[in-house]
Structures are given as C-alpha cells and as structure tokens.
A and B are shown apart, each in its own frame.
Chain A
Amino acid sequence: MEVSVTVNGKHRSADVEPRTLLVHFLRDTLGLTGTNVGCDTSSCGACTIHFNGESAKSCTMFAVQADGAEITTIEGLASEAGEMHPMQQAFMDCHGLQCGYCTPGMVMAATSLVAENPGGLDEAGVREGLEGNLCRCTGYHNIVKAVLSVGGAG
C-alpha cells in the first residue's frame, strides 16, 4: 500500500506491506534509524515520535495509519542550522543519557510533555509524564533534572 507522510518537514512516500509498523517504515524504509525499538509490547517508549504534534509510540501503529500525517523524529528536532533543541541541550548539560538508546524516545516524549504543560511542571509531573519511557542506565535522576530545567514551573 502507498503511504505518504511528511517527516521532519519533507514529503516522503513509499509502497509498504499493510502490516508494516510505523517504526519499521521510518527505520527500514526511510532510513531514519534514530527512532529505536526497545520492546514488542509498547512498554518502553524508545520508539516515541511526534505524530501530528503529539508524542506517540511508533511501534503501536501501522505505517498505513500514518498516511497524510506530519511526523517529527529525533532527526528533525535540531534546527536546520544544526543547533540542538533546548531539550537535547538540557539532556547533554544534565547528563541525562548514557547509552543513548532510550534517548531519542525520551527526548521526544519530554518535549511533548513540556509543550502540553505550558504552566510548568514539578518533579512529580515529570516523573508521571515520562512513565511510558523506560531507561536502564540513568536511574532517571538526570533525565528528570534535564526536563525540569526546560519545562519546570517557576
């Protein structure tokens, strides 16, 4: 089936098997391998992207369901000039990543969480808000610190 999407501002289309997961379409068909796969039960959030402006787990949808959608992946988060998004910068400054495998999904979920909470977040809000994204390296301490540095209240 033909799928047409706008990914990171560029129009992309391809013919895929109807059962192709969106994450595999992004990775294997479009070559956007920044979005990772960490589980097979939509539990870990490594595959989190922005789907029409909201965070979504791209392993939970078929590529065909994304037809016509606007998608942002980790590769599209930095500015065109190559400047890191404030959330990427915060993860770096706060040491919010180690092996980096959960990081693209975590950053995408975090930017969405902050956007959804314009009034600012407290620590509990960040922890609850990132519940769907697992990290095995950081113990979350510095991830929470990074997100609060961008989207914390006050």
Chain B
Amino acid sequence: MTAVEDPIKTTAIGTSMKRREDPKLLAGESKYVDDIQVVGQLWMGMVRSPMAHARITSIDTSAAEVAEGVHSVLTGPQLQDMGLWIAPLPCAWPVTEDMVNPPHYPAAIDEVHHVGEIVAVVLADSRYGAVDAAEQVVVDYEPLDAVASVAAAQDGSVTAHSEHETNKAYHWPLVPDPDALEAAFANAVHTVKAEFVQQRLIPAAMEPRGVLAVPSPMGGDVTLYSATQVPHILKVMIAATTGIPESKIRVIAPAVGGGFGAKLNINPDEILAVTLANRLGRAVRWTESRSEAAFSTHQGRGQLQTIELAADADGKLQGVRVHVDADLGAYMMLLTPGVPLLGSFLYTGVYAVPAFGFTCDGYFTNLTPTDAYRGAGRPEASYAIERAMDILAAQVGIGPDEIRRRNYLAGGEYFENLEVPSTLVFDSGNYGPNLDRALELADYDGLRAEQARRRAAGESKQLGIGMVTYVEICGLAPSRALGGLSYGAGGWEHATVRLLPTGKAEVVSGSTPHGQGHETTWSQIVSDKLGIPPEDITVLHSDTAISPLGLDTYGSRSLAVGGVAIAAACDKVVEKAKQIAAHQMEASADDLEFAHGMFSVSGSPDQAMPIQAIAFGAFTAHDLPDGMEPNLQEQVTFDPTNFVFPFGTHVCTVEIDEDTGAVELLSYVAVDDCGNQVNPMIVEGQLHGGIVQGIAQALFEEACYDEDGNLTNPSLMDYLVPSAADVPSMVTDYTVTPSTSNPLGVKGAGEAGTISSAAAVMNAVVDALSPYGVVDMDMPATPQRVWRTINEAKGGQA
C-alpha cells in the first residue's frame, strides 16, 4: 500500500513548517526601510548634543547652510516656530496621577538633557552630505551639572531638569496587605535581603532604525515607512503629536530587522521626517548609524532592586518585599514609566507566598531614556526572585532544586486559574514535572558529582551549576486590566480572514512581525482551520492602509492575542460557509461536517463541496440563503480575559578559570512550557535567541557611563553583543500545559528565554564561586570582575 502524505499534516497547527518568509530574506529581496529609494528624497542629518546637561546659548548654522547639496538647516527653536508639532512626544503610561512628565520635543528648544538629544537637523540631497553638513553646525553650550546615575538622582543636589526640584518622577506601590507582610517578616526564621543591579543595556537590533516619509502635497496625505514594531500605534501618535489628521497618515513597517522592544517607541526622527516632508513637499529620510543608535534609540533595564525574603525554618516562603529604583533616563518615552511595573507582579515568581509587597520609585537622569527591552520588567523580576531563592537555599542549607520544590505554587502539581498574592490569576502551571525534566536533561546529579570532584582536587577550573524556574506574564493584554494600570491603550488584536473568488485566502492581521515568522504561523492556523494549503494563503500586515486595525507586536502577544483572533475569524468563515453549503446542497447545516476543506453530509460522503467552491458561490452571490451578504469574509477583534503565564526551568553550567576569571558556558538546558505550540521550530528559535540575550546581560553587555553622563561604549567595538564564539549550543525541550486564557491554549514565547537566562547564568557563576564565600556578584560577570571577586574573597588585592 502506498502511503499518500496528507499535505495538511505537515503544515497543521503543531508542525514545524518551514518559514515562508525565508526565500525572500535569503535572497536579499526583502526591503528594509533603507532599501527603499524615492526620487527627490532629502536625507536628514541630526546635530546631537555632546553634553548630557547644558543650556544651548547659540547655534551657528551658516557654514552648514552653504555646504554643497544642503537644502536647509533647522534648529530646535526654528522647528518649534514652524509649528510642526502640537504636543510633545507621547508617554502612554502615566502610572500615577502625579507623575512628573517634562515636555519632550523632537528637538531641544533651550536645554539638553542627555547626550545625543537632537538640537538641529540638516536636510541634504545625499546620505553623506547630510552627515557632513550636520558636523558643520556649531553649537555653543553652557554646561550644567549632570545626573549620571540613580544614586546621583536620589542625592538630588543636582536635578536632571533645571526646572525640577527633585529627580523623582513617581512612587508606585503594590502592597495588597501591609499588615500580613509585616507579620511575615516579624515571624520569619530565615530572612534574606539582597540588592541587585540591572545594568543599562543597548538593545542593538541588527537593523538600525530608519524612517522615510513620503508626502503627497496635493492630496495632503503622508506615508511613513519606519523600522517599527508598532505601525498602528505610531499612526495614532503621529496624529496626536503633529495635528495631521489620522486619516491622512499611512504607516508602513516594511521588512523590519529585529526589534526587541527598541522599535516600539514614538521617536523624534519619526515626527521630524513626517512633518518636514509634509511641509516641504519632498520625501525626507534618515537612517540611524550604529553608534548614533546608542543615543537615538531607547535603552533597556536600568534598575536597582532590593528584595527581601521571609521564610520559615524549612525555607518555605512567608513573605516577599521588593523595592525598585528605576533609572528612567532624561524623558518619559512611550512606555518608560511602566516598564519596571510590568515586573511588579512577578517578584513572587512560581512560588506560593502568603504576603507580598512591591514599591517603585522612578528617577530622571541625564542619560538616554529607558523603555521596553526584551522582557521589559519581567527579566528583572525573575532575576531578583531567582537569585534570592539561591541565597535562601544556601542559608537554609538545602539545594537550589529543593528550595524551589518546597515553594512551588500548588506543590509543583498541575493547577489552573490560581490567584497569587500579587493579585493576578495564573492561567495554568505544572512546575514540578518541568523541573524534573530539566534536571534529567542536564544530568544534574552527574554535574554535581563532577563539581565535587573538581573542588576536592583543587582544580583551577571550577564548575558552577545554576537553575531557574521562571514564570512570566505576557499575551498583553486584557484591555480592562491595562486600563486598571493606567495604560493608554487596549490590548485587543484584530484579524480579518477572507476567501477570494478563486479559492485563495487572505488573512489580515494587526500584529506586526519583525523576525518572528508571523506569515508562517498565521498561514498554518488558517490552513488548519479552513483546510486550504498554506501556499494558497496570503498574510497581509504591517501597513495601516491594508490592515487598518491593530495593536502591533510587543509583550509576547502576537499568538496569544493576534493568532487567537485569526483562529476565531476562521471559525466564523467556516460557519458562514456552512450555511451556504447547506443551502446549496439542500441539507440541514446541522447535518454537515467540515474536514480538510470539504463540507459533506453526514452519512453521505458523496455529497460534498470544497470551501473554495463555496467561496466562488459567495462571490457570485447567485444562490445564497435569503438575506445573506455576499462574499466570504469575517473579522474578529479578540480581547483576552486574562494574560498568559508561560514558565520553564533552565539549567546552566559554567566553568570558571580562577586564574583568569574567564567564564565559559559549558551547557545550557531549557525546558519551557508555552502551552500548545503552532510551530515548534519557530518557538525553539525564539527561545534560543531570547536565552542568548539574557546570557549577554549576565556575561557581556553594559552601557557604561562616566560621571558626566557620557556613554563610553556606544559602538559595537566596545559594546559586547556576543558572537557565535561566545555562546554554546543549547538543549531545549518542552512540557505542554495549555493556557486557559484562550481557545488555542497558547502562551507567548518571544521573551521567555531572556526572562530566565540571566539569572540562570548568574546562579551558576555564584555557585562556582561559593566555596570562597561569594554570595552575589554584579552583572556582567566579566573576567575582570570575576577575577577581582575571587581575589577579594581570598583576601588578596582586588
């Protein structure tokens, strides 16, 4: 018997279909913003402040104005006088009613507040000409003292904004039961207090940001191509900031080369390009240089955390108390103030904790603003609780696996819809089996035996083993929940699914990919649901004219919100098609079955109609049920009722050369649970990349500032984005605990790796150094820092 492979089986939900995005990307055919050329375009060059805090006393544009190929030179005050904007750049997350939010204009008017702030722009007819002319603008500054750290901000003797009396922007508390928290600590047998530094990170998506604004002077509309994660949000915000009617603005995110949160903002360059293009009637463009990106794109992290644990004699947690001091940078960008709070709900991790309290103070500094970076608040939270649990384990005298088992929610067994002390309801979890699998894959007992052997032998290369069980909150988000957090938008996502007359399908999604493979995943869902081969499905997205409704891609929300919307729209299409089929086959709709794209009458398999034929019938509309609208097109806007809570256990092994301080990653095992998977290959890829970004924070990356607020490592020569030679291959596996928050049972996977891996690596590093009495160490664990820590612990010179 010859087996005929059902093509659907290789593309259905749950299979690793190869990505349909890849042939174009691999041929260099996909167009990123900088690949798109428009006749008559002007290149924008930015004159940026070299000072972190200064008053602008004069700007001399005369040399630049007469430079060859220069169209115009415009200073901040001139741009302001042109009336290009009606409001400052937006912050969509006023976390408290009294939050301080100094106006942030696309260009500084009289005072600069961070290195790299735009003070003037040049428009020239070539890429190089714009950069040259910008260098010829002479700006005089009166330097002001700068606030270059959270500590300096707290000291408050200097303020980052001259008109402010304090650097504090807000105080945000989440303390559900203060008395219970107090009692937990009063009655504790073990307490742990630890302070962690979440250093500033430069997101460094491989494609720098870029914009191209193309006006239509007679039509009055403008098209903005931007390397953005959020074309829909950008469109609304351009309207709100510039006064250009929303209906006249079209935003297109063409191929976008990674985002990681850094491309979800509303940036000065975007507003300048749109407004200048509109005013001049010529296309205006700008492409960020990599070194410029360290100033012109927001950074991530930048938090000081204090976490306290209260536990009983067995190490069972009784209370967790957290305070975060957040380095917001110079201005509130779109989500700046809310990022630290996104983690607030996760400081109790996967553990049953009777009492919990979190407070956060946000501070202005004269540094590049911070905002979302892969994980956005959640890697920080996961790091704090998971590092602190290791400290507690050592204090109680049990292993890191045992301290976790003793504290898992529901005793480490399956649960669903469980309320946790931070007021959330976790959709589902099953932590014990997940830990078991990770320890088994890592050969945990074998690793501990080898570690003991090396320690006993006094070898110079010592092993450290670190583990983390993380949980994260994603699938942003129920709109009501966001409203409760004072977030300025909803969290729904939109999908339209239509069948064309020829039987091909189009799916329109408001979710905007920048490397995640949405076209592949969406076509799998539609193929599975409608029984149409994936190659007959076109996915339309990332253009507000084609996909007018959407809330874009961030917070690991695409599948759990946008994908669910697509599945639901498919269900509606099938329902309508069934009515047509029943009408045309003269059968009762209740008697029809739908499988593999065919409607058939139960018990009479000969009577069948493919959905494609029904699509043609819906198009001609010659024979539809009375009152039915023609065409087969349905839309769904899905607003979830809860977040999703992926989890997993990661086990990392490092080898530390005590003579050099070098840390080598020997193995990395990740057992994740993101519920049901649509494309396991894509899920695994997301985890790989996320894990390495967390490893990068643990071992390599830090945006370093001097006391005057100068970034000392803005280029990729000095800022160590890891290469292939710096990281190992990873071992990945999964447990599957479907979400109860959506009908697909899916959770997010885009940020999970980053949320877990920095803590796993640092737990391993500290574990390796524990024989010296080392209980903590700051990130990144560079050879110099490790060597010093060892030497100090040995009582030598640091």
Contacts and interface: CB of A to CB of B under 8 A. Distances in A.
B31 A144 contact: no
B514 A99 contact: yes
A28 interface: yes
Contact of B258 (A34, A130, A137): A137
Interface in A49-103: 73-75, 77-78, 84, 88, 91-93, 95, 97-103
A41 B381 CA distance: 34
- B interface: dominant SS: loop
B26 A99 contact: no
A99 B258 contact: yes
Interface residues of B, number: 56
A14 B165 CA distance: 60
Contact of B128 (A17, A32, A46, A93): A17
Contacts of A140: 688, 692, 723-724, 727
Given A33-B35, A100-B255, A136-B693, A44 B206 contact: yes
Nearest to B688: A139
Contact of B688 (A73, A77, A141): A141
B688 A92 contact: no
B207 A101 contact: yes
A18 to B, nearest CB: 11
B290 A38 contact: yes
A84 B729 contact: no
Interface size class of A (residues with CB under 8 A): 35 or more
A43 B717 contact: yes
Interface in B700-727: 715-717, 721, 723-725, 727
Interface string B684-706: 11001111110000000000000
Given A74-B27, A98-B685, A144 B257 contact: no
A92 B26 contact: yes
Contacts of A134: 206, 716, 721, 723
A78 B25 CA distance: 13
A136 B724 contact: no
A97 B689 contact: no
A75 B30 CA distance: 11
A103 B26 contact: yes
Contacts of A93: 18
B291 A41 contact: yes
B83 to A, nearest CB: 34
A99 B206 contact: yes
Which of B21, B22, B514, B516 has the most CB atoms of chain A within a 10 A radius of its CB? B22
A34 B35 CA distance: 8
A88 B776 CA distance: 44
A132 interface: yes
B468 to A, nearest CB: 17
A75 B19 CA distance: 20
B205 interface: yes
Nearest to B20: A92
Contacts of B724: 126-127, 130-131, 133, 135, 140, 143-144
B196 interface: no
Task: Describe A's contact surface by its main secondary structure.
Answer: loop
A40 B289 contact: yes
Contact of B727 (A20, A34, A99, A139): A139
Interface in B663-698: 681-682, 684-685, 688-693
A123 B728 CA distance: 9
Determine which residue in B21, B514, B716 has the highest number of CB atoms from chain A within 10 A of its CB, and name it. Answer: B716
A121 interface: no
B29 interface: yes
A41 B715 contact: yes
A117 interface: no
A103 B35 CA distance: 15
A103 B716 contact: no
Residue in B28, B691, B716, B729 with the greatest tally of chain A CB atoms within 10 Å: B28
A40 B714 CA distance: 11
Interface string B352-368: 00000000000000000
A135 B690 CA distance: 12
Interface in B1-50: 18-19, 21-23, 25-32, 34-35, 37
B128 A34 contact: no
Contacts of B738: none
B432 interface: no
Contacts of A40: 289-291, 715
Contacts of B23: 84, 92
B685 A95 contact: yes
B426 to A, nearest CB: 27
B290 A139 contact: no
Contacts of A123: 729
Contacts of A38: 206-208, 290
Q: Tell me which of B688, B721, B730 has the highest count of chain A C-beta atoms within 10 A of its own C-beta.
A: B688
A118 to B, nearest CB: 21
Nearest to A38: B206
A100 B257 contact: yes
Contact of A139 (B32, B35, B691, B725): B691
Which among B21, B289, B515, B517 has the highest number of chain A CB atoms within 10 Å? B515
B260 interface: yes
A4 interface: no
Given A37-B34, A140-B692, A98 B26 contact: no
Interface in B355-404: none
B795 to A, nearest CB: 37
A101 B33 CA distance: 12
A100 B717 contact: no
A104 interface: yes
A107 interface: yes
Contacts of B515: 98-100, 137
B206 A101 contact: yes
A95 B730 CA distance: 15
Interface string B510-543: 0000111100000000000000000000000000
Contact of A138 (B21, B257, B688): B688
B717 to A, nearest CB: 5
Contacts of A20: 128
B225 to A, nearest CB: 14
Contacts of A132: 723
Interface in B111-166: 127-128
A70 B102 CA distance: 55
B255 to A, nearest CB: 7
B689 A138 contact: yes
Contact of A99 (B257, B715, B730): B257
Contacts of A95: 18-19, 681-682, 684-685
B204 A136 contact: yes
Given A88-B26, A92-B19, A98-B515, A137 B721 contact: no
A29 B670 CA distance: 46
A77 B724 CA distance: 23
A39 B256 contact: no
A122 B693 CA distance: 24
A149 interface: no
Contacts of A139: 688-693, 727, 730, 753
A19 interface: yes
B290 A44 contact: yes
8 contacts: A36-B206, A43-B715, A77-B27, A100-B21, A100-B515, A133-B723, A139-B690, A139-B727
Interface of A: 17, 19-20, 24, 27-28, 31-41, 43-44, 46, 73-75, 77-78, 84, 88, 91-93, 95, 97-104, 107, 123, 126-128, 130-145
